Amino acid sequence: MPRYALQIEYHGAPFAGWQRQKEQPSVQQTVEEALRQLDPKAPGIAAAGRTDAGVHGLAQVAHCDLSRRWDPFRLSEALNWHLKPAPVAVLRAAPVADDWHARFSALERRYLFRLIARRPPLTHEAGLAWQVPRTLDSDAMRMGGAHLIGRHDFTTFRSVICQAQSPVKTLDALEIETRSLPQGTEYRFHVRARSFLHNQVRSIIGTLERVGAGSWPPDRVAAALAARDRAACGPVSPPHGLYLAGVGYPEDPFG
């Protein structure tokens, strides 16, 4: 069966997450149902990352096996037709080798977290960013985040229901970008690693928000990391500010 990589964008609000679940809508199920409109015998798909309920996708990557060959453009167009009206879109499709795997072939995952500081309620960005009422100290957050770069035991920043075999991960980058808005400031956190623990990014962002708000000194992030204790973590940020922004492979399957 020919194999295709799919780059997928989605709004996470209506879904219980990426992964198929009983009696709850998921992005995986939505894409698989569209695929089976084209190929009733198509098996399930596999993705680079399993995003949680409410988390968005800018460039999730999955692969599927089909019973016949498709022109990549026609495949993406046909899938998008059958995906309507769900807030899911196939941005690109590409043929890949039979042993190529969206998850196991990946070298890195990139996440974006959007946080907006302003007093008036969000309107156009509601459900797409975490809102806090006061401006944050971005330099203090950068100082706190610097303690997390590198290979560490991230038990403190790991959900208690995380199924990963080890809490040791390597965080390759954590960058904070600021953008001035008419009624506030947007903070964009760009995080990159080969893989992440369950709730790791949201736990890190929630902790750094406490630093930016002045409730934590930057060095407390290092102490929290060293504690290897979930109780030492700051509040977990809400899912609707988080986006799976991209996946890196040895060679870009989409050219």
Apex 122 CA angle, 116 and 128, nearest 5: 65
Task: Give yes or no for a contact between 162 and 197, defined as CB atoms under 8 angstroms apart.
Answer: yes
Instruction: Tell me if residue 52 is catalytic.
Output: yes
One of 52, 65, 153, 172 is an active-site residue; which one?
52
Active site residues: 52
